[in-house]
Amino acid sequence: MEQIREVLAKNPNIHEELKFHISSLMDSFINCYPNLDKKEMSNKFGKMKMKALPKYTSKSLPSMFEDDTIYVNSNYLLSDDVDATNFLLMTVLNYLYPKDPSESPALYQGACNLICNSVVGGSNASDEAIVCDLLTRVNDSQQSNNIVSLADAFFASNLGLFRSSLLSAGLSIEDINRILNLSDQNFMAKSSMSQSNLPYIQLEILEACNRSSNFGSDLFCSLNSVIRRSSADFDEQFANNYSGFAIYVPSYDAIIAERTKETVKAI
């Protein structure tokens, strides 16, 4: 970590106050993920530049990247509803671990959200984070040499590893593709759509697990806790943007009751 601090201190293309905040965030980040390649991080921080987007840039564009330059939208960063610490860490991670253009944007966004939440607190309860939380629980419910965590796939800049891991865990390739395609559609439509499709995506995940014999009672209880928690996280916003949630509750309950009952009977 000392090497990263020294490189940041010598970088003339980052404001001094931002250097302090980034250095502090990297302390917390490396404490959470100590096995990452710090030399490669230092190399990237040595080349990194941070600049402000034009003053009147829409808040719909939080940041953008061009080569080694990060452009940050101060209008977005200073918004009352934005967690500046979480956003800064997410922006830095987007630079350190860029998305493969061929990979699911929702999976990448959700993975980054979850990692940021694990480092600086769970303040980013985005649709993508919730979907990735559910998929991570599915993935991690199985023990196998072929299981790769979402975080490891993210840091390898190869989220295809996580897709393959979900397949090894017991989901079908058709279900994996359908869930990620629905998540991508929901993610890309956010700016023009008032209603989130998260409740339906959650049902698709439950149904995909229900079609597999690999998963038992504990997983379905775990998935249920995330689905119920997600409705509480949004308060009034939830009522406006997630009105479809109530429609799917009976389906959620039926699947969870059936699978937990089956497992209890088997025991």
Give the model confidence (pLDDT) of 152-188 as tens digits: 999 999 999 999 999 999 999 999 999 999 999 999 8
CA-nearest of 26, 20, 25 to 4 is 26
Give the model confidence (pLDDT) of 252-266 as tens digits: 889 998 888 754 343
Whether residue 48 contacts residue 96, with contact meaning beta carbons closer than 8 Å, is answered with: no
φ and ψ of 49, to 5 deg: -125, 145
Domain limits, the chain = 1-96
Residue 189 DSSP label: T
**Rounded CA separation 61/69 (Å):** 15
* DSSP-assigned states of every residue in 141-188: TS--TT---HHHHHHTT-THHHHHHHHHHT--HHHHHHHHHHHHHHHH
**% of the chain surpassing 70 pLDDT:** 85
pLDDT at 192 over 90: no
pLDDT bucket at 227, cuts 50 / 70 / 90 = confident
**Rounded CA separation 115/137 (Å):** 14
Whether residue 70 contacts residue 117, with contact meaning beta carbons closer than 8 Å, is answered with: no
Ramachandran area for residue 170 (φ above 0: left; ψ -120 to 50: alpha; else beta): left
